[in-house]
Structure 1
Amino acid sequence: MTVGTVPAPRRRGRLGPGGGGWTLVVPLVLFLGVFFLYPLVQMARESASGGLATYEAIMTSPVYRKVFANTLTIAGATTLLCLVLAYPYAYVMNKVSPRLRLALMAFVLLPFWASLLVRSFAWIALLQDSGLINQALQGLGITDDPVSLIRTTPGVLIGMVHIMLPYMVLPLYTAMARVDGRLLLAASSLGATPWRRFVRVFLPLTLPGLAAGCLLVFTISLGFYITPALLGAPSQAMLGEVIAEQVEQFGLTTASALGIVLLTGTLIILMVVALFAKRLGRASR
């Protein structure tokens, strides 16, 4: 009597030098190489076509220094305002019933259903001197004359915060949803006040989502172009607007150098945040 042998199960491909799993990554690598890495190399070559003189002119020009300051200031203010608005909103989303949570999530995702250009033009209609906001302020007797909301920094911040708010809410909500409620109950049973329970337990546990949201909003805001161009004044131009203007005037060398400066600054910010998050994670252990 012979006993049949059961064939051994086939091993799945591994992501290693001898495995076939790397073939799954090849399309992505080719896509990034053709549509991201190659244009980036070409931009770096174009920026260096005039030597270091282009970079020296950018760094020493008071006009570009003001543009850099505007970009960092508006991006930082947008991040701060998004955080102030998104944190309580995400907290409420985490506490309400599933049906109401779905409605709140729909309000967060609503801006994605319209084009960025359409939303920016809508804010022009709302913020102009004869717009709906000024009509409401004058109708309520709050002001007699129209308030200048367009072609100003507050107007740019309103439009950018409206666009960037979902990028802050979603990481915060995800981090808050992972917080174990039993930890808060344990803190209450040990005599912690609601404020102390929030500061010592809830807030530290949501720091990863807070850092992710702030980093996402800040880095995207650094390269904004359409909204500041439509709602802001020329004196408040951001780096994305200047790059687009240089491209339109066929100043490709300067535009490429500005793009490299923006990319380098963003990478430095990412490295600093990563090191800070790493140290913060070690300190919390």
Structure 2
Amino acid sequence: MSILTDRTQRGALFLTVPALAVLLLVMAIPLGVIVLRSFIEPEPGMANYAWFFDTKVNVTVLLRTFSIAFWVTLCCVIAAYPYAFAMSVAGPRLRLVLIMCVLVPFWVSGVVRTLAWVILLQDSGVINRILLSLGFEKVRLIRTQLGVTIGMTQILLPFMIMPLYAVMRGIDLRLLQAARSLGAHPIKTFFQIYLPLSLPGVFAGATIVFILALGFYITPLLLGGPQSTMLSTLIQQQVLSLLNWGRGGTMGVILLIATFGILGIASPFMKRKYQMSGGSR
């Protein structure tokens, strides 16, 4: 039995070799080159990192990048939770319609969806026309951080909905019925039973959305302005416009380290909440 187990483990390890080779070629090696160039271009040392933290604009944009990613993640959680719940409790036909409503926009290019938001959010766009017809004043949405948040939320929403739906489909709704039959209030039943059981999906989706939001480039560029610039735009300027791979690589490395740092701080809390929700069983 032990020999069979060892052979199975070696076979499983062998099957991972192609995927590991691809990851090494397309991620590990290029990332290593970027890290190396951040230390040696234009001259060896820590000059690029000193320049980054000595320049107030760089630090401001870095903090703004994480702020926008946080608000986008929060908006996705708020919008995706009831939608995923509706998908999990709906009948087969309605569930199929709801899933298609999520997937069809997801199959459209992000550039196309962003350009659609440009049309909707501009000063003479559909949203402001509706506001004027209702007697309200125009609201500036384009070239603002609010516009960037709206556009990124719509694009990243499927990445929040699908993990939530996967977890909610596994929750036994008879638990809620049992709580109601014992006299529990619906709100109390939700917060004490359903919400804790769905937290693994919230954490999984929020992590995916947050990480993806940090690296967004096209949407902030088209919908945002100088006051909503994200770090990806500065990296593009350094690499393509100024041909300064050292400083561009430095920005990328700092963003990567900051991301891992936040995830490292949040992971114990997420693990504890996951165990409390029953994930340790």
TM-score w.r.t. the length of structure 1 is: 0.90
Which structure features the higher share of helix residues?
A: 2
Query: Partner amino acid for 1:89?
Result: Y
Deviations 1:54-81 (A, max 9, x none): 1122123210111012101111110111
Query: Does the 8 A contact of 1:126 with 1:133 survive in 2?
Result: yes
CA distance in 2, matches of 1:163, 1:76: 15
Residue matched to 2:110 = 116
User: Does residue 219 of the first structure (1) align with residue 211 of the second (2)?
Assistant: yes
SS of the counterpart of 1:142?
Answer: coil
Instruction: Work out which structure has the larger RCO, using CA pairs closer than 8 Å and 6 or more positions apart in sequence.
Output: 2
SS of the counterpart of 1:129?
Answer: coil
**Among residues 44, 47, 54, which one is paired with 2:48 in the alignment?**
54
User: Does residue 74 of the first structure (1) align with residue 68 of the second (2)?
Assistant: yes
Quickly say closer, same or farther: Cα 1:196–1:241, change in 2 above 3 A.
same
CA distance in 1, matches of 2:274, 2:112: 41
**Among residues 187, 201, 217, which one is paired with 2:193 in the alignment?**
201
The number of equivalent residue pairs is 272
CA distance in 1, matches of 2:125, 2:50: 44
Residue matched to 1:4 = none
1:82-93 mapped onto 2 (5 Å cutoff): 82-93=76-87
1:22 Cα deviation after fit = 3.0
Query: Does the 8 A contact of 2:200 with 2:274 survive in 1?
Result: no
SS of the counterpart of 1:264?
Answer: helix
User: Does residue 192 of the first structure (1) align with residue 184 of the second (2)?
Assistant: yes
1:133 Cα deviation after fit = 1.7
Residue matched to 1:256 = 249
Query: Partner amino acid for 1:54?
Result: N
Higher mean displacement: 254-263 or 122-131 = 122-131
Query: Does the 8 A contact of 1:175 with 1:208 survive in 2?
Result: yes
1:282 Cα deviation after fit = 4.3
Quickly say closer, same or farther: Cα 1:238–1:212, change in 2 above 3 A.
same
SS of the counterpart of 1:180?
Answer: coil
Query: Does the 8 A contact of 1:13 with 1:21 survive in 2?
Result: no
CA distance in 2, matches of 1:217, 1:121: 21
User: Does residue 265 of the first structure (1) align with residue 258 of the second (2)?
Assistant: yes
1:280 Cα deviation after fit = 2.5
Quickly say closer, same or farther: Cα 1:284–1:126, change in 2 above 3 A.
closer
User: Does residue 45 of the first structure (1) align with residue 39 of the second (2)?
Assistant: no
CA distance in 2, matches of 1:159, 1:27: 36
Query: Does the 8 A contact of 2:145 with 2:227 survive in 1?
Result: no
1:235 Cα deviation after fit = 2.4
User: Does residue 237 of the first structure (1) align with residue 229 of the second (2)?
Assistant: yes
* Structure 1, gaps ≥5 residues long: 1-9
Residue matched to 2:21 = 30
Quickly say closer, same or farther: Cα 1:169–1:32, change in 2 above 3 A.
same
* Structure 2, gaps ≥5 residues long: none
TM-score w.r.t. the length of structure 2 is: 0.91
Residue matched to 1:100 = 94
Query: Does the 8 A contact of 2:62 with 2:255 survive in 1?
Result: no
Query: Does the 8 A contact of 1:168 with 1:216 survive in 2?
Result: yes
Residue matched to 2:164 = 172
Residue matched to 1:228 = 220
Quickly say closer, same or farther: Cα 1:159–1:282, change in 2 above 3 A.
closer
CA distance in 1, matches of 2:26, 2:277: 40
Query: Partner amino acid for 2:232?
Result: G
Quickly say closer, same or farther: Cα 1:281–1:88, change in 2 above 3 A.
closer
RMSD: 1.9
Query: Partner amino acid for 1:75?
Result: A
User: Does residue 150 of the first structure (1) align with residue 139 of the second (2)?
Assistant: no
The higher radius of gyration belongs to 1
Quickly say closer, same or farther: Cα 1:129–1:284, change in 2 above 3 A.
closer
